[in-house]
Structure 1
Amino acid sequence: MVGQSSSSKVQALYDLCTTTFTPSGILPSSPAIHKLCCLLDTVHPVDVGLKEENPDYDPGYGFFVLNRLSSAARWMCIFCFPTSSVIPLHDHPGMTVFSKVLYGSLHVKAYDWVEPTCIYESKGSCNSRVKLAKLAVDKVLTAPCGTSVLYPKSGGNLHCFTAVTPCAVLDILTPSYSEDAGRKCTYYHDYPYSPFCTGNGAEISDSKEEDYAWLAEISTPDNLYMHQGVYTGPAVNV
């Protein structure tokens, strides 16, 4: 794949996605996941119509869908971040997500729900209902780096992105968000484990307290703003 032109690389990515995923987004086999990750690992900014990595290049906070593709490829999008911008902690219910950092550095903090489900409810508190989660990822990804994958119940299904430098991320989501299908994006605030632990039956013994957090659902943050851009990369045959 390394020797492919920009256009053929994007075409190969499109073709592989359409043959790998079903409309319902059933999790593909391990070999299929590996094959897709290997192809994503070869994708560079220029392949999708972005400039090569440049410390002074900051296209602005937003995203664009690869809208020259057919409706079957709505799960593909690219997010561009200016320095210090944040996509707050949110989930991907029933979804598998492939993330490839195209340029720059991005801090990722991600959790998975603890199973069996552990919910703590308190009376007279503004955060009356929280759910226990375990930290899965807490690190900075700097391009070039390998593709990250999160699964419905592992790998950090709930994550937060913070731009350390101007950066861009190519995401492939399968299946896509759909409120009608019960895949609504929900935002959360994470609280340390200890303030809620006393007397709630959620004592932990197999790991450190800092590996756990209580997550409370919140409304979509008022200061969350993303504008949709226009894909200017290579055309794709569908």
Structure 2
Amino acid sequence: MQRLIKSLQHFSATSSEHVELLSKLTLRDFGVYVSDADAKRYMASEAYPIAEHTFQLENALHQRRLCDRSAQVFPMAWKSSSTDILGCSTLYQNETVTLCWFVIPPGKALPLHDHPGMTVWQRAMHGRLHLCSIVRGASAQAGTGASIAPNVGTVIFDGELEGVGDAIAASEVLGFTPAGGGVLHEIRNIDAAQPAFFVDIISPPYNQAPSNIQCSYYTAEPLDATATLLPSFGADSGVRHQLKAGDKVGLHPRSNYSGPAMDAFVRIV
């Protein structure tokens, strides 16, 4: 992990070093965490028993629900709350790049969102994920060669990813560029029992000067009126139909939606 962070301190989008180092990470490399709330309590008073609230991420990811009906979870599992919100942590960030991870509870999703002008390297490391990636605007071309209207997108990938917690080949790390697609994507956990975990390297980062890029959320409506609804989807989901590469969708901004609730975690070891 420290080698990857050191590499990002001298980040170059044209270098492959950070991709190689991301591919070599294992779940154990992610270390030990506390919730952001507990970290703040400890900063306010060193008498706060913070050691009682720490957890190793690798261990937490392998703890499953006690009971699906009541949605109970093991204490200090993949998040500190039992309300099924997402977990996240920013491991490193500067004005050019960010390294972060997300944990998605069973049946939940990181809804359809955009990466305007960004390059994203992504790696699934635990659980089973369904990824839908969509490119929009003039960068997507219709079959006739004419440019598609800006509010219409083309699905470039829709399929499952299996998380791998050991080192993988660098070629297996997913990469999305502004020119190559993946400008918007939705990531769903399709496992009924265990959390899903993935890592992103994003350049440039959201909400960081000088670019100050904002993350916007969307719903995707198939232009094919015969498209089939997914068997199940969360209330937050922006993709609610079965899609495949090449499908055209209307993209509708969710103006009153700021994204799913998340628990933030701080790495301490």
Q: Same fold (TM over 0.5)?
A: yes
> What's the CA shift string for 1:115-172, capped at 9, x where partnerless?
26533xxxxxxxxxx7111111111111226321111232312000101231111111
The answer for the alignment partner of 1:194 in structure 2 is: 224
The answer for the alignment partner of 2:154 in structure 1 is: 134
CA distance in 1, matches of 2:135, 2:185: 9
> What's the CA shift string for 1:163-204, capped at 9, x where partnerless?
123111111111111376352111111011235xxxxxxxxx
- Kept in 2: contact 1:96–1:152 (CA 8 A): yes
The answer for the alignment partner of 2:135 in structure 1 is: 112
CA 1:227–1:82 in 2, change beyond 3 Å: closer, same or farther? same
The answer for the alignment partner of 1:178 in structure 2 is: 207
CA distance in 2, matches of 1:72, 1:99: 19
- Kept in 1: contact 2:130–2:187 (CA 8 A): yes
The answer for the alignment partner of 2:27 in structure 1 is: 45
Secondary structure (helix, strand or coil) at the match of 1:62 reads: strand
CA 1:70–1:218 in 2, change beyond 3 Å: closer, same or farther? closer
Secondary structure (helix, strand or coil) at the match of 2:8 reads: helix
TM-score (norm 2): 0.63
Secondary structure (helix, strand or coil) at the match of 1:41 reads: helix
CA distance in 2, matches of 1:232, 1:101: 22
- Kept in 1: contact 2:157–2:245 (CA 8 A): no
TM-score (norm 1): 0.70
How well do the aligned residues superpose, as a CA RMSD in angstroms? 2.7
Q: CA deviation at 1:55?
A: 6.1
CA distance in 2, matches of 1:152, 1:19: 22
Aligned length: 191
CA distance in 1, matches of 2:3, 2:217: 33
CA 1:133–1:182 in 2, change beyond 3 Å: closer, same or farther? farther
Aligned-residue sequence identity (percent) comes to 25
Q: CA deviation at 1:70?
A: 6.7
Q: Which runs of 5 or more residues in structure 2 are unaligned? A: 32-56, 66-76, 80-85, 140-146, 226-243
CA 1:37–1:70 in 2, change beyond 3 Å: closer, same or farther? closer
Amino acid in the other structure paired with 1:44:
T
CA 1:135–1:154 in 2, change beyond 3 Å: closer, same or farther? same
The answer for the alignment partner of 2:8 in structure 1 is: 17
> What's the CA shift string for 1:17-73, capped at 9, x where partnerless?
22233xxxxxx22xx23x32222111111101221562627513211111xx57558
The answer for the alignment partner of 1:24 in structure 2 is: none
Moved over 3 A (4+): 69-74, 116-119, 220-223
CA distance in 1, matches of 2:64, 2:206: 33
1:85-234 mapped onto 2 (5 Å cutoff): 85-115=108-138, 118-119=148-149, 131-144=151-164, 146-165=172-191, 166-178=195-207, 181=211, 183-194=213-224, 211-219=247-255, 221=257, 224-233=260-269
Q: Which runs of 5 or more residues in structure 1 are unaligned? A: 1-9, 22-27, 120-129, 196-207, 234-238
